[in-house]
Structure 1
Amino acid sequence: MSVHAPVLDLTSGGDPFGTAVLEAWKAGPRLGLFHEIIERDDGLITVNDIHRYFAPFEEWGPLEQQLCERAAQRVLDVGCGPGRHATHLLAQGHEVLGIEPSPGAATVARERGVDVLTASVESLEPALGTFDTILLGGQNLGLLGSREKAGGVLRRLASLTKPGGALLGVSIDPYTLTSDCNRAYRDKNRALGRLPGQQRLRIRDGAVSTSWFDYLFVSATELEELLSGTPWQLHELVPHGKQYLAHLVRS
Protein backbone atom coordinates (compact mmCIF):
# COMPACT_ATOMS: atom_id res chain seq x y z
CA MET A 1 0.00 0.00 0.00
CA SER A 2 1.48 3.34 -1.02
CA VAL A 3 -0.04 6.82 -0.81
CA HIS A 4 1.20 10.37 -0.99
CA ALA A 5 0.93 12.57 2.09
CA PRO A 6 1.89 16.15 2.97
CA VAL A 7 5.21 16.65 4.71
CA LEU A 8 4.71 17.07 8.48
CA ASP A 9 6.89 18.70 11.12
CA LEU A 10 8.08 15.59 12.95
CA THR A 11 10.26 15.09 16.00
CA SER A 12 13.20 12.85 14.99
CA GLY A 13 15.33 10.56 17.10
CA GLY A 14 12.61 8.33 18.55
CA ASP A 15 11.97 4.60 18.19
CA PRO A 16 8.73 4.45 16.18
CA PHE A 17 9.31 0.93 14.87
CA GLY A 18 10.09 -0.38 18.34
CA THR A 19 7.03 1.36 19.79
CA ALA A 20 4.72 -0.25 17.20
CA VAL A 21 6.30 -3.67 17.67
CA LEU A 22 6.07 -3.48 21.47
CA GLU A 23 2.41 -2.45 21.30
CA ALA A 24 1.64 -5.32 18.92
CA TRP A 25 3.49 -7.81 21.11
CA LYS A 26 1.70 -6.71 24.30
CA ALA A 27 -1.71 -6.74 22.61
CA GLY A 28 -1.15 -10.07 20.87
CA PRO A 29 -0.13 -9.68 17.20
CA ARG A 30 -3.17 -9.57 14.92
CA LEU A 31 -3.72 -8.39 11.38
CA GLY A 32 -4.71 -4.79 10.80
CA LEU A 33 -4.08 -3.30 14.26
CA PHE A 34 -0.49 -2.00 14.24
CA HIS A 35 1.53 -0.62 11.34
CA GLU A 36 5.03 0.37 10.29
CA ILE A 37 5.02 3.65 8.36
CA ILE A 38 7.98 4.26 6.04
CA GLU A 39 8.44 7.67 4.44
CA ARG A 40 10.75 8.30 1.49
CA ASP A 41 12.25 11.74 1.04
CA ASP A 42 10.09 12.45 -2.02
CA GLY A 43 6.96 12.10 0.14
CA LEU A 44 6.09 8.50 -0.80
CA ILE A 45 4.54 6.64 2.14
CA THR A 46 4.55 2.85 2.54
CA VAL A 47 2.46 1.18 5.25
CA ASN A 48 3.29 -2.36 6.42
CA ASP A 49 1.27 -4.46 8.84
CA ILE A 50 3.36 -5.24 11.94
CA HIS A 51 1.73 -8.68 12.05
CA ARG A 52 4.14 -9.89 9.36
CA TYR A 53 6.99 -9.74 11.86
CA PHE A 54 5.20 -12.34 14.00
CA ALA A 55 3.81 -14.57 11.24
CA PRO A 56 4.78 -18.29 11.42
CA PHE A 57 7.18 -19.82 8.91
CA GLU A 58 4.32 -21.35 6.90
CA GLU A 59 2.98 -17.86 6.08
CA TRP A 60 6.29 -16.41 4.86
CA GLY A 61 7.09 -15.82 1.22
CA PRO A 62 9.31 -18.40 -0.52
CA LEU A 63 12.47 -16.28 -0.41
CA GLU A 64 12.24 -15.72 3.34
CA GLN A 65 11.71 -19.46 3.80
CA GLN A 66 14.75 -20.28 1.64
CA LEU A 67 16.77 -17.74 3.60
CA CYS A 68 16.34 -19.79 6.76
CA GLU A 69 16.58 -23.17 5.02
CA ARG A 70 20.03 -22.22 3.67
CA ALA A 71 21.33 -20.94 7.02
CA ALA A 72 24.03 -23.08 8.62
CA GLN A 73 25.26 -23.50 12.20
CA ARG A 74 26.10 -20.22 13.98
CA VAL A 75 23.99 -17.37 12.57
CA LEU A 76 24.26 -13.58 12.86
CA ASP A 77 20.79 -12.13 12.15
CA VAL A 78 21.43 -8.50 11.16
CA GLY A 79 18.39 -6.26 11.65
CA CYS A 80 16.55 -9.07 13.43
CA GLY A 81 13.57 -6.92 14.45
CA PRO A 82 11.35 -8.71 16.97
CA GLY A 83 12.92 -12.04 16.04
CA ARG A 84 10.89 -13.47 13.16
CA HIS A 85 13.79 -15.36 11.57
CA ALA A 86 15.80 -15.85 14.76
CA THR A 87 13.04 -17.64 16.68
CA HIS A 88 12.52 -20.05 13.78
CA LEU A 89 16.25 -20.75 13.50
CA LEU A 90 16.54 -21.33 17.24
CA ALA A 91 13.73 -23.88 17.00
CA GLN A 92 15.72 -25.61 14.26
CA GLY A 93 18.72 -25.96 16.55
CA HIS A 94 20.90 -23.08 15.30
CA GLU A 95 22.97 -20.82 17.53
CA VAL A 96 21.73 -17.29 16.76
CA LEU A 97 22.81 -13.78 17.71
CA GLY A 98 20.49 -10.96 16.67
CA ILE A 99 21.61 -7.43 15.88
CA GLU A 100 18.90 -4.77 16.12
CA PRO A 101 19.24 -0.96 16.44
CA SER A 102 15.65 -0.46 17.66
CA PRO A 103 15.55 -0.84 21.47
CA GLY A 104 11.84 -1.69 21.41
CA ALA A 105 12.18 -4.38 18.76
CA ALA A 106 15.26 -5.79 20.53
CA THR A 107 13.27 -6.01 23.77
CA VAL A 108 10.54 -8.04 22.07
CA ALA A 109 13.10 -10.38 20.48
CA ARG A 110 14.69 -11.00 23.88
CA GLU A 111 11.29 -11.76 25.41
CA ARG A 112 10.88 -14.34 22.62
CA GLY A 113 14.13 -16.03 23.64
CA VAL A 114 16.62 -14.44 21.23
CA ASP A 115 20.08 -13.28 22.28
CA VAL A 116 20.14 -9.73 20.90
CA LEU A 117 22.74 -6.98 20.79
CA THR A 118 21.19 -3.51 20.45
CA ALA A 119 23.52 -2.16 17.77
CA SER A 120 23.81 -1.18 14.12
CA VAL A 121 25.74 -3.02 11.42
CA GLU A 122 28.37 -0.24 11.41
CA SER A 123 29.19 -0.83 15.08
CA LEU A 124 29.85 -4.59 14.91
CA GLU A 125 33.20 -5.61 16.38
CA PRO A 126 35.47 -8.69 15.96
CA ALA A 127 34.86 -9.56 19.64
CA LEU A 128 31.56 -11.12 18.54
CA GLY A 129 33.54 -14.00 17.06
CA THR A 130 32.90 -15.59 13.70
CA PHE A 131 29.71 -16.96 12.17
CA ASP A 132 28.84 -19.54 9.56
CA THR A 133 25.93 -17.49 8.21
CA ILE A 134 25.13 -13.78 8.03
CA LEU A 135 21.39 -13.23 7.61
CA LEU A 136 19.94 -10.07 6.02
CA GLY A 137 16.26 -10.99 5.79
CA GLY A 138 13.23 -8.82 5.15
CA GLN A 139 14.99 -6.87 2.34
CA ASN A 140 17.84 -6.04 4.72
CA LEU A 141 20.40 -6.36 1.96
CA GLY A 142 19.35 -2.71 1.75
CA LEU A 143 21.58 -2.04 4.77
CA LEU A 144 24.44 -1.74 2.28
CA GLY A 145 23.12 1.81 2.16
CA SER A 146 24.86 3.35 -0.83
CA ARG A 147 27.65 2.81 -3.35
CA GLU A 148 30.07 4.58 -1.01
CA LYS A 149 29.02 2.68 2.12
CA ALA A 150 28.48 -0.82 0.71
CA GLY A 151 32.12 -1.92 0.52
CA GLY A 152 32.77 -1.08 4.15
CA VAL A 153 29.64 -2.91 5.31
CA LEU A 154 30.50 -5.99 3.24
CA ARG A 155 34.08 -6.08 4.54
CA ARG A 156 32.90 -5.66 8.15
CA LEU A 157 30.46 -8.56 7.76
CA ALA A 158 33.14 -10.65 6.07
CA SER A 159 35.44 -10.10 9.07
CA LEU A 160 32.77 -11.83 11.20
CA THR A 161 32.30 -14.76 8.80
CA LYS A 162 34.25 -18.01 8.62
CA PRO A 163 35.98 -18.75 5.28
CA GLY A 164 33.41 -20.49 3.10
CA GLY A 165 30.58 -19.03 5.16
CA ALA A 166 27.50 -17.46 3.63
CA LEU A 167 25.76 -14.11 3.52
CA LEU A 168 22.06 -14.57 2.72
CA GLY A 169 20.14 -11.42 1.85
CA VAL A 170 16.78 -10.51 0.38
CA SER A 171 16.29 -7.36 -1.69
CA ILE A 172 14.22 -5.74 -4.42
CA ASP A 173 15.40 -5.13 -7.97
CA PRO A 174 14.68 -1.38 -8.22
CA TYR A 175 14.06 -1.59 -11.96
CA THR A 176 10.93 -3.68 -11.33
CA LEU A 177 9.35 -0.67 -9.58
CA THR A 178 7.75 0.92 -12.63
CA SER A 179 5.42 3.63 -11.29
CA ASP A 180 6.02 7.20 -12.43
CA CYS A 181 7.21 8.28 -8.98
CA ASN A 182 9.74 5.43 -8.79
CA ARG A 183 11.06 6.20 -12.29
CA ALA A 184 11.41 9.86 -11.34
CA TYR A 185 13.19 8.91 -8.12
CA ARG A 186 15.72 6.77 -10.02
CA ASP A 187 16.33 9.62 -12.46
CA LYS A 188 16.93 12.01 -9.57
CA ASN A 189 19.42 9.59 -8.00
CA ARG A 190 21.33 9.30 -11.28
CA ALA A 191 21.49 13.09 -11.54
CA LEU A 192 22.96 13.20 -8.01
CA GLY A 193 25.56 10.53 -8.82
CA ARG A 194 23.86 7.87 -6.71
CA LEU A 195 22.91 4.34 -7.61
CA PRO A 196 19.37 4.51 -9.02
CA GLY A 197 17.90 2.27 -6.28
CA GLN A 198 19.25 4.22 -3.30
CA GLN A 199 16.38 5.14 -0.98
CA ARG A 200 16.41 7.95 1.59
CA LEU A 201 13.96 6.83 4.30
CA ARG A 202 12.71 7.36 7.81
CA ILE A 203 10.28 5.37 9.98
CA ARG A 204 7.32 7.24 11.48
CA ASP A 205 4.82 6.76 14.28
CA GLY A 206 2.46 9.69 14.78
CA ALA A 207 4.58 12.82 15.25
CA VAL A 208 7.77 10.84 16.01
CA SER A 209 10.25 9.63 13.41
CA THR A 210 13.72 8.19 13.09
CA SER A 211 16.41 10.29 11.51
CA TRP A 212 16.76 9.90 7.74
CA PHE A 213 18.84 6.90 6.62
CA ASP A 214 19.94 5.33 3.33
CA TYR A 215 18.64 1.94 2.17
CA LEU A 216 19.86 0.42 -1.06
CA PHE A 217 18.00 -1.61 -3.69
CA VAL A 218 20.26 -2.97 -6.43
CA SER A 219 20.00 -5.17 -9.50
CA ALA A 220 22.05 -8.37 -9.77
CA THR A 221 24.60 -6.61 -11.98
CA GLU A 222 24.96 -3.71 -9.55
CA LEU A 223 25.32 -6.13 -6.63
CA GLU A 224 28.20 -7.93 -8.34
CA GLU A 225 29.89 -4.57 -8.95
CA LEU A 226 29.59 -3.74 -5.23
CA LEU A 227 31.14 -7.11 -4.32
CA SER A 228 34.28 -6.32 -6.33
CA GLY A 229 37.24 -5.81 -4.00
CA THR A 230 35.49 -7.48 -1.04
CA PRO A 231 35.90 -11.06 0.24
CA TRP A 232 32.43 -11.98 -1.07
CA GLN A 233 31.45 -13.78 -4.26
CA LEU A 234 27.93 -14.24 -5.61
CA HIS A 235 27.15 -17.95 -5.38
CA GLU A 236 23.51 -17.83 -6.48
CA LEU A 237 20.73 -15.34 -7.07
CA VAL A 238 17.16 -16.62 -6.74
CA PRO A 239 14.53 -14.27 -8.26
CA HIS A 240 10.89 -14.22 -7.23
CA GLY A 241 8.70 -11.44 -8.61
CA LYS A 242 10.24 -8.08 -7.76
CA GLN A 243 12.47 -9.59 -5.08
CA TYR A 244 15.46 -11.88 -5.06
CA LEU A 245 17.55 -13.88 -2.62
CA ALA A 246 21.30 -13.30 -2.92
CA HIS A 247 23.51 -16.12 -1.63
CA LEU A 248 27.07 -14.86 -1.20
CA VAL A 249 30.08 -16.93 -0.13
CA ARG A 250 33.11 -15.62 1.73
CA SER A 251 36.31 -16.50 -0.12
Structure 2
Amino acid sequence: MTDVFGRMVADYHRDALAGQPTYERSDGDESTAQCAWYFAGPEDWGSLETTVIEACAAAPPGQSRATPRVLDAGCGPGRALGPLADRGADVLGIDESPGAIQVAREWTGQPAIVGDLATPPLASDAFDAALFLGTHVGTGGSISALRDLLAELDRVLAPRGRIVADMYDPTAVEAEDLSEYLDGRWLADGVATRRFRLRYDGTAGRWRTLLMASPDALETIVAPTSWSIGRVERDEGTRHLFVLERGADR
Protein backbone atom coordinates (compact mmCIF):
# COMPACT_ATOMS: atom_id res chain seq x y z
CA MET A 1 0.00 0.00 0.00
CA THR A 2 1.35 3.42 -0.99
CA ASP A 3 2.28 5.61 1.96
CA VAL A 4 0.28 8.63 0.80
CA PHE A 5 0.31 10.33 4.21
CA GLY A 6 4.04 9.85 4.62
CA ARG A 7 4.74 11.31 1.19
CA MET A 8 2.47 14.28 1.91
CA VAL A 9 4.11 15.23 5.21
CA ALA A 10 7.61 14.63 3.81
CA ASP A 11 6.91 16.89 0.83
CA TYR A 12 5.40 19.57 3.05
CA HIS A 13 8.35 19.39 5.44
CA ARG A 14 10.75 19.91 2.52
CA ASP A 15 8.60 22.70 1.03
CA ALA A 16 7.92 20.56 -2.04
CA LEU A 17 4.18 19.92 -1.77
CA ALA A 18 2.79 18.69 -5.12
CA GLY A 19 -0.66 20.26 -5.02
CA GLN A 20 -3.31 20.54 -2.31
CA PRO A 21 -4.08 17.29 -0.45
CA THR A 22 -7.70 16.57 0.44
CA TYR A 23 -9.67 14.24 2.67
CA GLU A 24 -12.45 12.38 0.90
CA ARG A 25 -15.38 11.19 3.03
CA SER A 26 -17.19 7.99 2.09
CA ASP A 27 -20.20 9.97 0.81
CA GLY A 28 -17.98 11.87 -1.65
CA ASP A 29 -17.60 15.05 0.39
CA GLU A 30 -14.08 16.51 0.21
CA SER A 31 -12.23 18.83 2.58
CA THR A 32 -8.80 20.43 2.51
CA ALA A 33 -6.05 18.60 4.38
CA GLN A 34 -4.36 21.18 6.60
CA CYS A 35 -0.73 20.05 6.41
CA ALA A 36 0.44 22.85 8.69
CA TRP A 37 -1.55 21.27 11.56
CA TYR A 38 0.84 18.31 11.61
CA PHE A 39 3.78 20.65 12.21
CA ALA A 40 2.19 23.23 14.51
CA GLY A 41 4.23 24.10 17.59
CA PRO A 42 2.87 24.68 21.10
CA GLU A 43 2.49 28.39 20.39
CA ASP A 44 -0.22 27.50 17.86
CA TRP A 45 -1.95 24.79 19.88
CA GLY A 46 -5.35 24.99 21.50
CA SER A 47 -6.00 24.44 25.19
CA LEU A 48 -6.60 20.69 24.80
CA GLU A 49 -3.21 20.04 23.22
CA THR A 50 -1.47 21.97 25.99
CA THR A 51 -3.39 20.01 28.63
CA VAL A 52 -2.50 16.74 26.88
CA ILE A 53 1.23 17.45 27.08
CA GLU A 54 0.98 18.42 30.74
CA ALA A 55 -0.97 15.25 31.56
CA CYS A 56 1.55 13.01 29.80
CA ALA A 57 4.67 14.70 31.13
CA ALA A 58 3.60 14.64 34.78
CA ALA A 59 5.68 12.37 37.01
CA PRO A 60 4.18 8.88 37.31
CA PRO A 61 1.91 8.82 40.39
CA GLY A 62 3.02 6.64 43.26
CA GLN A 63 6.46 5.98 41.78
CA SER A 64 9.91 7.27 42.67
CA ARG A 65 10.96 7.59 39.02
CA ALA A 66 10.91 11.30 38.13
CA THR A 67 11.18 10.91 34.36
CA PRO A 68 7.95 9.70 32.72
CA ARG A 69 8.23 7.34 29.76
CA VAL A 70 5.72 8.45 27.14
CA LEU A 71 4.58 6.65 23.99
CA ASP A 72 3.31 9.03 21.32
CA ALA A 73 0.95 6.68 19.47
CA GLY A 74 0.14 7.81 15.94
CA CYS A 75 2.86 10.44 16.20
CA GLY A 76 2.83 11.36 12.50
CA PRO A 77 5.76 13.70 11.73
CA GLY A 78 6.27 14.22 15.47
CA ARG A 79 4.70 17.49 16.53
CA ALA A 80 4.27 16.32 20.16
CA LEU A 81 7.65 14.58 20.52
CA GLY A 82 9.71 17.74 20.99
CA PRO A 83 7.35 19.39 23.50
CA LEU A 84 7.16 16.17 25.52
CA ALA A 85 10.95 15.87 25.57
CA ASP A 86 11.24 19.55 26.52
CA ARG A 87 9.06 18.78 29.54
CA GLY A 88 11.54 16.12 30.61
CA ALA A 89 9.76 13.02 29.29
CA ASP A 90 11.56 10.04 27.82
CA VAL A 91 9.62 9.70 24.55
CA LEU A 92 9.11 7.24 21.72
CA GLY A 93 6.94 7.88 18.69
CA ILE A 94 5.16 5.15 16.77
CA ASP A 95 3.21 5.39 13.52
CA GLU A 96 2.29 3.02 10.71
CA SER A 97 3.60 5.49 8.10
CA PRO A 98 7.31 4.97 7.30
CA GLY A 99 7.46 8.36 5.61
CA ALA A 100 6.05 10.16 8.64
CA ILE A 101 8.44 8.34 10.97
CA GLN A 102 11.41 9.38 8.84
CA VAL A 103 10.27 13.01 9.06
CA ALA A 104 9.72 12.70 12.82
CA ARG A 105 13.27 11.49 13.34
CA GLU A 106 14.74 14.22 11.14
CA TRP A 107 12.58 17.05 12.45
CA THR A 108 12.59 16.32 16.19
CA GLY A 109 15.73 14.27 16.78
CA GLN A 110 13.65 11.96 18.99
CA PRO A 111 13.34 8.17 18.61
CA ALA A 112 10.41 6.93 16.53
CA ILE A 113 9.50 3.55 15.05
CA VAL A 114 7.15 2.14 12.43
CA GLY A 115 4.44 -0.03 13.95
CA ASP A 116 0.77 -0.93 14.15
CA LEU A 117 -1.00 0.83 17.01
CA ALA A 118 -3.24 -2.20 17.59
CA THR A 119 -0.27 -4.53 18.13
CA PRO A 120 2.73 -2.32 18.94
CA PRO A 121 6.12 -4.10 18.94
CA LEU A 122 6.84 -2.99 22.49
CA ALA A 123 7.84 -4.66 25.74
CA SER A 124 5.44 -5.02 28.64
CA ASP A 125 5.37 -2.24 31.26
CA ALA A 126 7.51 -0.12 28.95
CA PHE A 127 5.73 3.24 29.38
CA ASP A 128 4.01 5.38 31.99
CA ALA A 129 1.70 7.14 29.54
CA ALA A 130 0.36 6.62 26.04
CA LEU A 131 -0.63 9.71 24.07
CA PHE A 132 -3.17 9.53 21.24
CA LEU A 133 -3.38 13.04 19.78
CA GLY A 134 -5.48 13.72 16.70
CA THR A 135 -8.26 11.24 17.65
CA HIS A 136 -6.03 8.27 16.72
CA VAL A 137 -7.39 6.26 19.62
CA GLY A 138 -10.50 5.68 17.49
CA THR A 139 -8.77 4.48 14.32
CA GLY A 140 -9.80 0.88 14.94
CA GLY A 141 -13.24 1.99 13.81
CA SER A 142 -15.36 -0.07 16.22
CA ILE A 143 -16.19 -0.50 19.89
CA SER A 144 -14.55 -3.92 20.00
CA ALA A 145 -11.38 -2.59 18.36
CA LEU A 146 -11.09 0.16 20.96
CA ARG A 147 -11.50 -2.35 23.77
CA ASP A 148 -8.84 -4.56 22.17
CA LEU A 149 -6.51 -1.57 22.00
CA LEU A 150 -7.10 -0.83 25.69
CA ALA A 151 -6.27 -4.45 26.50
CA GLU A 152 -2.98 -4.19 24.58
CA LEU A 153 -2.15 -0.93 26.34
CA ASP A 154 -2.79 -2.70 29.64
CA ARG A 155 0.25 -4.79 28.74
CA VAL A 156 2.42 -1.98 27.39
CA LEU A 157 1.83 0.51 30.21
CA ALA A 158 3.34 0.16 33.66
CA PRO A 159 1.21 -0.12 36.79
CA ARG A 160 -0.54 3.22 37.39
CA GLY A 161 0.05 4.07 33.75
CA ARG A 162 -2.39 6.36 31.97
CA ILE A 163 -3.83 6.90 28.51
CA VAL A 164 -4.29 10.47 27.32
CA ALA A 165 -6.36 10.88 24.18
CA ASP A 166 -8.83 13.05 22.33
CA MET A 167 -11.95 12.05 20.42
CA TYR A 168 -14.82 13.60 18.49
CA ASP A 169 -18.26 13.66 20.11
CA PRO A 170 -20.86 12.87 17.42
CA THR A 171 -23.69 14.12 19.65
CA ALA A 172 -22.13 17.61 19.61
CA VAL A 173 -22.04 17.92 15.81
CA GLU A 174 -23.80 21.05 14.57
CA ALA A 175 -22.78 21.12 10.90
CA GLU A 176 -25.82 19.99 8.91
CA ASP A 177 -23.91 18.01 6.27
CA LEU A 178 -21.94 16.03 8.87
CA SER A 179 -25.04 15.47 10.96
CA GLU A 180 -26.84 14.04 7.92
CA TYR A 181 -23.83 11.86 7.12
CA LEU A 182 -23.80 10.41 10.63
CA ASP A 183 -27.50 9.52 10.49
CA GLY A 184 -26.68 6.15 8.99
CA ARG A 185 -23.47 5.53 10.92
CA TRP A 186 -24.55 5.17 14.56
CA LEU A 187 -23.23 2.06 16.35
CA ALA A 188 -24.85 2.77 19.74
CA ASP A 189 -26.14 5.70 21.76
CA GLY A 190 -23.49 8.38 21.45
CA VAL A 191 -21.23 6.27 19.22
CA ALA A 192 -20.79 6.74 15.47
CA THR A 193 -18.14 6.32 12.77
CA ARG A 194 -16.72 8.46 9.99
CA ARG A 195 -15.04 6.83 6.98
CA PHE A 196 -12.51 8.76 4.90
CA ARG A 197 -9.27 8.59 2.95
CA LEU A 198 -6.46 10.96 1.97
CA ARG A 199 -5.89 12.06 -1.63
CA TYR A 200 -2.57 13.57 -2.63
CA ASP A 201 -0.77 14.08 -5.94
CA GLY A 202 -3.10 11.81 -7.89
CA THR A 203 -3.01 8.96 -5.36
CA ALA A 204 -5.65 7.88 -2.85
CA GLY A 205 -4.74 6.31 0.48
CA ARG A 206 -6.67 3.43 2.01
CA TRP A 207 -10.07 3.97 3.54
CA ARG A 208 -10.05 4.51 7.30
CA THR A 209 -12.94 4.28 9.73
CA LEU A 210 -12.74 6.56 12.75
CA LEU A 211 -14.73 5.84 15.91
CA MET A 212 -16.44 8.82 17.53
CA ALA A 213 -18.00 8.72 21.00
CA SER A 214 -19.48 11.12 23.52
CA PRO A 215 -17.96 11.18 27.03
CA ASP A 216 -20.98 9.28 28.40
CA ALA A 217 -20.73 6.66 25.67
CA LEU A 218 -16.99 6.37 26.21
CA GLU A 219 -17.62 5.53 29.85
CA THR A 220 -19.84 2.63 28.73
CA ILE A 221 -17.23 1.44 26.23
CA VAL A 222 -14.46 1.48 28.83
CA ALA A 223 -16.51 -0.13 31.62
CA PRO A 224 -15.65 -3.81 30.81
CA THR A 225 -11.90 -3.05 30.63
CA SER A 226 -9.32 -2.47 33.36
CA TRP A 227 -9.47 1.25 32.64
CA SER A 228 -11.65 4.02 34.03
CA ILE A 229 -12.13 7.66 33.06
CA GLY A 230 -10.23 9.94 35.40
CA ARG A 231 -10.73 13.23 33.59
CA VAL A 232 -12.67 14.73 30.70
CA GLU A 233 -12.32 18.18 29.15
CA ARG A 234 -14.05 19.68 26.12
CA ASP A 235 -12.95 22.26 23.61
CA GLU A 236 -15.30 24.72 21.96
CA GLY A 237 -16.16 22.28 19.18
CA THR A 238 -16.90 18.57 19.03
CA ARG A 239 -13.60 17.32 20.45
CA HIS A 240 -12.97 16.20 24.01
CA LEU A 241 -9.88 15.14 25.93
CA PHE A 242 -9.98 12.19 28.30
CA VAL A 243 -7.52 10.52 30.64
CA LEU A 244 -7.90 6.81 31.40
CA GLU A 245 -6.37 5.44 34.57
CA ARG A 246 -6.10 2.17 36.43
CA GLY A 247 -4.74 1.09 39.80
CA ALA A 248 -1.45 -0.64 40.44
CA ASP A 249 -3.09 -4.08 40.48
CA ARG A 250 -4.16 -5.70 37.20
Under TM normalisation by the shorter chain, which class is it? 0.7 to 0.9
Alignment of 1:1-251 (within 5 A): 13-27=1-15, 36-72=21-57, 73-111=68-106, 112-127=108-123, 129-190=125-186, 196-241=191-236, 242-251=238-247
- For residue 185 of structure 2, give the secondary structure of its aligned residue in structure 1: helix
**Cα contact 2:71–2:92 (8 A) shared by 1:** yes
Percentage of pairs with the same residue: 31
**Cα contact 2:190–2:214 (8 A) shared by 1:** no
1:194 & 1:243 partners in 2: Cα distance? 17
Residue 240 of structure 1: how far off its partner (Å): 1.2
Q: Which runs of 5+ in 1 are unaligned?
A: 1-12
User: Which stretches of structure 1, 4 residues or longer, exceed 3 Å deviation after superposition?
Assistant: 33-36, 192-196
The range that moved more, 174-183 or 235-244, is 174-183
Residue 144 of structure 1: how far off its partner (Å): 4.4
**Cα contact 2:139–2:211 (8 A) shared by 1:** yes
Residue 177 of structure 1: how far off its partner (Å): 1.7
State the match for 1:9 in structure 2.
Answer: none
2:16 & 2:207 partners in 1: Cα distance? 30
**Cα contact 2:21–2:201 (8 A) shared by 1:** no
Residue 38 of structure 1: how far off its partner (Å): 1.8
TM-score of the pair, normalised by structure 1: 0.86
1:23 & 1:182 partners in 2: Cα distance? 30
Q: How many residues align?
A: 235
| Compared CA separation, residues 34 and 65, structure 1 to 2 (3 A) | farther
**Cα contact 2:170–2:190 (8 A) shared by 1:** no
The range that moved more, 193-202 or 228-237, is 193-202
Q: Which runs of 5+ in 2 are unaligned?
A: 58-67
| Compared CA separation, residues 98 and 137, structure 1 to 2 (3 A) | same
Instruction: Name the amino acid aligned to 1:202.
Output: R
| Compared CA separation, residues 219 and 22, structure 1 to 2 (3 A) | same
**Cα contact 1:78–1:135 (8 A) shared by 2:** yes
Select the structure that is richer in helix.
1
TM-score of the pair, normalised by structure 2: 0.86
**Cα contact 2:95–2:113 (8 A) shared by 1:** yes
